[in-house]
Amino acid sequence: MSFNKKVWQLCKKVPRGKVTTYKEIAAAMRTKAYRAVGNAMNKNPYGLLICGYGKNMVPCHRVVDSTGHIHGFAHGLKKKSDLLRKEGIKIRKNKILEFEKVRYRF
DNA sequence: GCTTTGACTCTCG
DNA sequence: TCGAGAGCCAAAG
């Protein structure tokens, strides 16, 4: 299985209402390719399904950096924060509130 | 194959 | 507290 697919697989394991970080994912794969993880997200073929919540969706919007701050998103940061808020996660200025509480650990 | 490119993270000052 | 710099890794050209 390719590196990217592993990333997406792990991504899908994040439950609704929870978030994870690029670092967590990398750690779960026993690697330190934090940046490559983000790169994988950016190129993920299921990106367009995020908003539609399709069968093979990869909840990329539940992945943020180690500080709980949101970076880029294929559909825009606003869209991403909206989706997270809809799942019960509070966001303010691209920053996740109560990060430690909603953070999912593998 | 070597070089470039990131949705990253850590360390300093 | 915050920004700059350096280190990191895999994918794409």
Our measurement of CA A89 to C1' C1, in angstroms, reads 25
Tokens of A99: 């990060």
A11 as an active site residue: the answer is: no
* Other CB atoms within 10 A of residue A19 CB: 22
Distance of CA A26 to the CA centre of its chain: 12
Determine the pLDDT at residue A20.
95
Tokens of A73: 């998103």
Query: Which domains are seen in chain A, by residue range?
Result: 3-99 (1.10.10.10)
Our measurement of CA A71 to C1' C2, in angstroms, reads 17
pLDDT tens column, A16-63: 999 999 999 999 999 999 999 999 998 876 655 544 455 567 888 999
pLDDT tens column, A54-100: 556 788 899 999 999 999 887 888 888 888 999 999 999 999 999 99
Catalytic-role residue among A50, A60, A63, A96: A60
Chain A 24-63, CB < 7 Å to strand C: 31-36, 39-40, 43
pTM: 0.89
Our measurement of CA A13 to C1' C5, in angstroms, reads 35
Task: Please tell me the distance from the alpha carbon of residue A50 to that of residue A33, in angstroms, as a whole number.
Answer: 24
Which helix (H) or strand (E) segment holds residue A35: the answer is helix A34-43
Let me know: does A45 contact A97? Beta carbons within 8 Å. no
